[in-house]
Structures are given as C-alpha cells and as structure tokens.
Chains A and B, each alone.
Chain A
C-alpha cells in the first residue's frame, strides 16, 4: 500500500517538476506515437475504405488478415523491424537501428492494421445504409468515398484514438528497435521497464500514472474537438 501512496506522490512531483530529462522522455513518447498514428492513418484510411468498397478476388482473405493483424504482438514487430534495420539486415546501411525513426516505423506497422480494419468496418456499415442512395444519385467513386468518410469522421476519430492507445502503451517494439538509450530513444514505457528492473517500483508506478494522464489529455482534446465540431455542424 505504501508504494501506491508514494507512487502518486512521485507522479505529482514529476508533473510539477518540469525536469528537462523527464520532459524529453514525455516529448519523445508523444512525438514517436503521434507520428506513427498519423502515418498509420495516411495508409489505413484509404486502405480500409478501398477494401470496404471494392470487390476483388481474395477480398475475404484480405479482411481476415487485416483483422488478425490488429493483434500483432509488439515484440514480434520489433524483432522483424530490428532484423531488417540491423547492420546485418537488408536496410542496415541506412543506420536507422536505435533511432526514433526505427521506433516510428515499428509503431506504424503496429497501428496501421488497427486503423485499416476498423475503417473498413465503419465504411462498410455506412455503405449498407447509403449505398442505394448514392447509386441512385449516380455518384462517382470519389464523391462516394468522400461522402462516406466525411459522414464517418466521428467514428474515425475513435479509430485514431484506438491506434494512439496501442502506440503509446506498447513497450515490446520500442525497446527492441530503440534500445532505450538515455536522451535519444527512451520513452515513457521503456523508462517504466527500466525503473522496475532497478527495483524502483514507486518511481516506475509514478511514471505509469503520468503516462495514463498523458493518454487522458490526448483523448480529452479529441473529444472536445469532436463535440465543438458537432455543434458547429448542427448549427450550419
């Protein structure tokens, strides 16, 4: 019980300390995970919509794979990216191993299937609802896609948050490809793992509380944007 109490004290102290080391860890966590989620959306939104709206041979298999890859183990993704980026691997000459870029690549691979699979489901459901109508209006593919995605934007915001949750919380991939280098590739989750291994359990738990607080802030920001956008749309 003592360690829970001291963990909250540590979390509070960290949050108000503005310690530059701590802030750089928080900053890197946000930079890596937000970049990965942005890239994953860039790939996953069109990919999901495409699979939802087109018919091609092997589509059932593609959907099955997308859904399965939502559960990709971070440590496996980390290992694969590691093998590719290692000096002994095919992309070794780029010298990207143990850099934030490597961490972004790994998290993008983790998050893209989540974004694509959920987008596919949302767009497919909307197509059932509006498909007939759009066809009767003789809407082209661009207009169709635009209508569906615009209509789905609030659901898609939740998809983005699901992806962000996955990225900010994982440690398996960033630990392997980032190497947890102080001031270079250390993020919240790998710092928590490190403090745990030193036996500093209340510091580790304190960092965990701060991590939850960060996730809360990002989620709250998206919710506020969504609500205000919804009000504007209703007034328009």
Chain B
C-alpha cells in the first residue's frame, strides 16, 4: 500500500524531472540579446529577416519581446531588456536623459496613416492636413478606434488631436473608443465596425483582415514616424549584454542594416525608409 502511494507521488515527480527545462543559463553576453520592440515593427514582418541576417553575420541571436513603446521603455528602465527599438522621440530623449539608456540612435522611419471605410463619410480624403482630417471625423462623430495604450502610435495620435484642438479621450462621447490593445487588435476592431483609426505603414502593409478599410490620408511632416534604437545603460544594469547591444546598433545604423531596411518590401510596398 505504501509502495503504491509512493508510486502515485513519484510519477509526477519523475515526469517533472523529465520535462523540466535545464536551469536558466546565465545570460551569454556575446551570443544572445534581448530586444524590446513595438507591435508596429513586429507586425510589419521586418524583424524576422532583418535579425536573421544580423545573426548570420555576427552569430548573435536576438530574441524579441513585443509591447507598446510605453511598456517597452518601462521594462527597459527595470533592466529587463538589453536594448530597445521604439518610436516616441520625446519619451526616448527623457529615457536617455534619465540615464536609463546610453544614447538614442535613429534607425528608420515609417509613415503614420489615417485609415477608414472606403465610402469615407467624414470626407477625410479632401482634408488639408492630418489635424483637419481628425477634426472632420470629430465633427461628424464618426466611429474612431484608438489604441489607448500609451504606445508610440497612440502618443502620435494624441499629439495630432492636440493640433486639432481636441481631446476626445477625455469627453465620454461614444464615437471615440480606446481598445487599450496592440495595433493588430485595434485594426481588427476598426475593420469589423468599418470605423476610422490611426495606424502606421509597418502594421498596415502586413495586415490581412482589412475588410472595408483603406488608406484615406497620408503624407505631411506630422505623419512621419521615426524609430530609434537605445542600448540599456550597463552602468545602471551591469547584467545587460552591452557588447552585443553595441554590435546590433552599429549593424542597424551601418550600411548593411540600412540597405536591408531600404530593400524590405511587403506586397511591393516599402513600409520603412532608412535614415541614411
């Protein structure tokens, strides 16, 4: 009876031993790099081939975790990444000024877009600029879906509402809805509701479930979306893979990385432009 009991308890123990992963290896500072980046970069499909090429050339494996820019910078502040690739210049400058990152290195830009239903009831197509486009949506109280997640895209969208002299997220109006989720979830909702939303070319070019949505407004200086890479400060977080992070920064901002970004296409469209 006791033997049976022992077996009963030993079985899960043996299974656990069999299945348990090897204990976490201390971070190999030369071989793997933990990169925090944004949903917009990830959804574009750029990272897989780009970081694959970097791996082939340097032997460094880059592992990516994807969140909004706000969350990525917060995690970077705790030292949970080695390097971050984000798109909110003001927040990035504060991040570096606060000593959390070593320096901000511009990598590429994409384009912010206003997308919405093909029939365009707010007549966003004939807007003079991006702020005017948003003003037209607000005037007609047409459904607008916002990220509402303090991502870089969300910050840029709020900046444009500010230009239009509006802050629809503070008035509970009903036509302005915040998903509090990533770009994909937000585009899915806009697609189902045939609503307007604010997105950028990286996510949009690779998004498959467009439904009635189409690009209604793009272009102009206020719709440029700059990405920068920032290594986490090794003086504050001694465990970070500073050497490997530097290799990635040099490669991405150097001729090979830049021409890779320039050549990247989704359905014939380049979602990103290199900085040089």
Contact = CB atoms under 8 A, between A and B. Distances in A.
Partners in one complex: yes
Interface of A: 31, 34-35, 37-39, 41-42, 45-46, 86-89, 92, 94-101, 104, 142-143, 145-147, 149-150, 153, 179-182, 184, 196-201
B5 interface: yes
Interface string B1-23: 11011001100110110011101
Given A42-B12, A101-B21, A142-B2, 19 more contacts: A38-B12, A87-B78, A87-B79, A89-B78, A92-B79, A95-B24, A96-B24, A98-B34, A98-B80, A143-B2, A145-B5, A146-B5, A181-B63, A181-B65, A182-B48, A196-B185, A197-B188, A198-B184, A199-B188
Interface in B212-269: 237, 239
Contacts, number: 115
A39 B14 CA distance: 10
B64 A86 contact: no
A149 B63 contact: no
A86 B78 contact: yes
B79 A197 contact: no
Given A104-B21, A199-B208, A46 B182 contact: no
A236 to B, nearest CB: 13
A146 B209 contact: no
B43 A35 contact: no
B39 interface: yes
Interface of B: 1-2, 4-5, 8-9, 12-13, 15-16, 19-21, 23-24, 26-27, 34, 39, 43, 48, 63-66, 75, 77-80, 182-185, 187-188, 191, 206-210, 237, 239
30 contacts: A41-B12, A42-B16, A45-B12, A46-B9, A87-B79, A88-B80, A89-B78, A94-B24, A95-B239, A104-B21, A145-B5, A146-B1, A149-B8, A179-B66, A180-B66, A181-B65, A184-B63, A196-B185, A196-B188, A197-B182, A197-B183, A197-B185, A197-B188, A198-B206, A198-B207, A199-B184, A199-B188, A199-B209, A200-B208, A201-B209
B19 A35 contact: yes
